[in-house]
Structure 1
Amino acid sequence: MARRVLGAFAVTVTAALATLALTGTAQAHTPVVNKGCDEKAGKSWFTVSLKDYGKDKDNTLVVKIDGVEAFKTTFKGKLGEQKFERDGNVKHTYEATITAYDDLKFERGWSKVETRTTEACVKTPPTKPSETTSTKPTTTAPEVPSSSAEVPPSSTPAAPGGSAPEPPLAATGASPMWLLLSGLGLVGAGAGTLLFLRRRSA
Structure 2
Amino acid sequence: RNLAPDPARAAQLARQQAALDSARTKRERDADPERLGLRRSVLAEAAVAAVVLVVTTVLTATEPARTEEAVKAASGGQSATASTTARPQALTIPFDTGGPHGKGTARLDLAPGSSTAANTLQLRLADSSGKAMDVPEVKISFTQKAKKLGPLPAVPRQVGKGRWRASGVRLPVPGQWQLSLVVRTSDIDQVTEIKNVKIG
The TM-score, its normalising length taken from structure 1, stands at 0.30
Q: Which structure is higher in strand share?
A: 2
- From the CA coordinates, give the structure whose radius of gyration is larger: 1
Q: Which structure is higher in helix share?
A: 2
The TM-score, its normalising length taken from structure 2, stands at 0.30
